[in-house]
Chain A
Amino acid sequence: MGSDSVASLRGVKLVYHEPSRETLAVDGLDLEVKRGEFLSIVGPSGCGKTSVLSLITGLLTPSEGSVEVLGVSPAEARGRIGYMLQRDALLDWRTIERNVLLGLEVKRALTPESRSRALALLDKYGLGDFRRHYPAELSGGMRQKAALIRTLAAEPELLLLDEPFSALDYQTRILLEDEVRSIIKQGGYTAVLVTHDIAEAICMSDRVVVFSGRPARVKRSVGIDLAGTAFERRSRAGFGALFDLIWKELREE
């Protein structure tokens, strides 16, 4: 494994055991995430995408194969990985500011410097005026952005996003995609995004990995070299061809 690899999964198999059955969710999966890369995962519903993210965060351990994150095991890397869930899971009794500081608090890394760095993120991404507001007072898009800033404030070395926009309306979604991509690219973060939306995957990431149906394997990896912001990418000449390519791979499942 090269030093530019942030996460590496080799021959990974994952079985869920329940009293009534066992489910083979992932089988023979090889996946490599490089430093600074923005990777998207698309795949049929229920194929095992969330399971793969849980393997990377160490919430689950593989039945077979190995998972290495930041050069160590996922358990040892905990706290260096940021995980953003589909629902924002903001703590509704905390102000936005205190929500954003949660990760630092938990890591006992809340110093005046780390605090002002975290709060600067709120200002930078347009939530500065809302720092004393409660989550219930924010729109869905703003809440999701606050959740992203909370994830970023803990200064993760790897960012995992599980369908972060799927609960939002279309317009908010397009705007936020644009914003999140520029936040991630400007910050030089390494990110893995799980999505159902092919267009979203193409306009946000550097590489799209198509998963097979359950059990999840990597079926195809497609490099995306379109210029511009997420929004501009939608109207680039190559966009349609990439969309067709990925759509065909998915449809075969």
Chain B
Amino acid sequence: MSREHMEYLKKLKRGRRLTAAVRILLLALLLGLWEASGRLGLADPFIVSSPSRVVSTALRLYESHDLFPHILTTFYETVVGFVSGTAIGVAAAVLLWFSPFLRRVLDPYLVVLNALPKIALGPILIVWVGAGPGAIIVMALLVSTVVTVMSVLSGFTEQGREREELMRTLGASRLQTFMKAVLPASVPTIMSALKISVGMSWVGVIVGEYLVSKRGLGYLIVYGGQVFKLDLVMASIVILCVLAAIMYYAVAAFEKRIDKRFGRE
């Protein structure tokens, strides 16, 4: 390794450290301002809450053995909704790739389904599935399925005719064309669809909990708002942020592993 290259690597590392340091500082600054605004009387802590009140609320929940049941309920609903929604979405996209006729027939239906705010279906789901975790999971599943179908299918079809023609001239069957050319080429699209879908599942679950549930973070938020416990609302939102971030990074880590298997950096 040349000296210049070592210098370059050092600079790179310094840059990364600086970014991380500023990030943490920014967080500390925001939390500090939040806390200070209440203590200095700039804002009413009853309305805006504060970091210390959020922490003590969370601790109280934990001590009354309420915290983890709520977290687990929401987490479970999201994971089930996300995984099944994505699986159904990808399977539907594959089916539609294999049948251009079906694709043409269903195109307007998909467009409408995509444009429709799925939340509007909430009351129907409650009647059909029952006012419980089932309805919430179906809501999350619905929201993530539709985005997954749309983005994965466009990934499949935007590969261009060229590769498909190449495969045909090599004598490949439609299945071989899909497995060897279309699917691997769509891995990045599928992965970004997963990232969108995981976010959508959270939306579905929280909205579902707003509507029906007696447990979960969405329920805590609505309940806290109704009884004017803004500390509880803020605490739930902070926990939700952490959970959503964990799940997003889990998907991102999965993406990295898949990319490695397909030989990309």
A residues touching B (Cβ–Cβ < 8 Å)? Answer: 57, 59, 78-79, 81-83, 85, 87, 89, 91, 93-95, 102-103, 105-107, 134, 154
* Pick from A78, A89, A91: contact of B171, CB under 8 Å: A78
User: Taking the complex as formed, is B170 at the interface, i.e. its CB lies under 8 A from any CB of chain A?
Assistant: yes
Chain A residue nearest in CB terms to B176: A106
In the assembled complex, the CB of B187 is this many whole angstroms from the nearest CB of chain A, namely 7
* Pick from A57, A87, A93: contact of B263, CB under 8 Å: A93
The count of residues in chain B whose C-beta lies closer than 8 Å to any C-beta of chain A is: 19
Q: Specify which chain B residues have a CB less than 8 angstroms from the CB of A57 in the assembled complex.
A: 169
User: Taking the complex as formed, is B167 at the interface, i.e. its CB lies under 8 A from any CB of chain A?
Assistant: yes
Q: Specify which chain B residues have a CB less than 8 angstroms from the CB of A106 in the assembled complex.
A: 167, 170-172, 176, 180
In the assembled complex, the CB of B194 is this many whole angstroms from the nearest CB of chain A, namely 18
State in angstroms the CA–CA spacing of A77 and B166 once bound together: 15
* Pick from B165, B169, B176, B264: contact of A93, CB under 8 Å: B264
Q: Specify which chain B residues have a CB less than 8 angstroms from the CB of A95 in the assembled complex.
A: 263
Chain B 149-191 interface 0/1 with A at a Cβ cutoff of 8 Å (1 = within): 0000000000000110111111110001000110011010000
Main secondary structure of the interface of A (DSSP, over half): loop
- The 7 A-B pairs of least Cβ separation, nearest first, read A79-B171, A83-B169, A106-B172, A93-B262, A89-B166, A103-B170, A106-B170
Q: Specify which chain A residues have a CB less than 8 angstroms from the CB of B168 in the assembled complex.
A: 59, 78
24 contacts between A and B (CB under 8 A): A59-B165, A59-B168, A78-B171, A79-B171, A81-B169, A83-B166, A83-B169, A85-B162, A85-B165, A85-B166, A89-B163, A89-B166, A93-B185, A93-B187, A93-B264, A103-B171, A105-B180, A106-B167, A106-B170, A106-B172, A106-B180, A107-B171, A134-B263, A154-B170
Chain A residue nearest in CB terms to B261: A93
With A78-B171, A154-B170 as known contacts, state yes or no: A91 contacts B162, CB within 8 Å: no
State in angstroms the CA–CA spacing of A105 and B176 once bound together: 10
Q: Specify which chain A residues have a CB less than 8 angstroms from the CB of B170 in the assembled complex.
A: 79, 102-103, 106-107, 154
With A85-B162, A106-B176, A134-B263 as known contacts, state yes or no: A91 contacts B184, CB within 8 Å: yes
Which of B169, B170, B184 has the most A CB atoms < 10 Å from its CB?
A: B169
Chain B 94-128 interface 0/1 with A at a Cβ cutoff of 8 Å (1 = within): 00000000000000000000000000000000000
Q: Specify which chain A residues have a CB less than 8 angstroms from the CB of B184 in the assembled complex.
A: 91, 93
State in angstroms the CA–CA spacing of A82 and B168 once bound together: 11
Query: By the criterion CB–CB under 8 Å, are B263 and A91 in contact?
Result: no
State in angstroms the CA–CA spacing of A105 and B184 once bound together: 16
Q: Specify which chain A residues have a CB less than 8 angstroms from the CB of B264 in the assembled complex.
A: 93
Chain B residue nearest in CB terms to A53: B169
In the assembled complex, the CB of B170 is this many whole angstroms from the nearest CB of chain A, namely 5
Query: By the criterion CB–CB under 8 Å, are A89 and B162 in contact?
Result: yes
In the assembled complex, the CB of B164 is this many whole angstroms from the nearest CB of chain A, namely 10
In the assembled complex, the CB of B181 is this many whole angstroms from the nearest CB of chain A, namely 6
Chain B 6-38 interface 0/1 with A at a Cβ cutoff of 8 Å (1 = within): 000000000000000000000000000000000
Q: Specify which chain A residues have a CB less than 8 angstroms from the CB of B180 in the assembled complex.
A: 91, 102, 105-106
State in angstroms the CA–CA spacing of A103 and B263 once bound together: 20
Chain B residue nearest in CB terms to A77: B171
In the assembled complex, the CB of B108 is this many whole angstroms from the nearest CB of chain A, namely 19
Q: Specify which chain B residues have a CB less than 8 angstroms from the CB of A105 in the assembled complex.
A: 180
Chain A residue nearest in CB terms to B188: A93
State in angstroms the CA–CA spacing of A105 and B166 once bound together: 14
State in angstroms the CA–CA spacing of A247 and B162 once bound together: 31
A59-B165, A91-B184, A91-B185 known; 8 new pairs, CB 8 Å cut-off, are A78-B171, A82-B169, A91-B163, A93-B262, A93-B264, A103-B171, A106-B172, A106-B180
In the assembled complex, the CB of A134 is this many whole angstroms from the nearest CB of chain B, namely 7
State in angstroms the CA–CA spacing of A154 and B181 once bound together: 17
Q: Specify which chain B residues have a CB less than 8 angstroms from the CB of A81 in the assembled complex.
A: 169
Q: Specify which chain A residues have a CB less than 8 angstroms from the CB of B176 in the assembled complex.
A: 106
State in angstroms the CA–CA spacing of A102 and B163 once bound together: 12
* Pick from A83, A91, A103: contact of B181, CB under 8 Å: A91
In the assembled complex, the CB of B231 is this many whole angstroms from the nearest CB of chain A, namely 50
Chain A residue nearest in CB terms to B172: A106
State in angstroms the CA–CA spacing of A183 and B159 once bound together: 31
State in angstroms the CA–CA spacing of A79 and B185 once bound together: 23
Chain A residue nearest in CB terms to B265: A134
State in angstroms the CA–CA spacing of A204 and B67 once bound together: 77
State in angstroms the CA–CA spacing of A79 and B167 once bound together: 10
State in angstroms the CA–CA spacing of A150 and B166 once bound together: 11
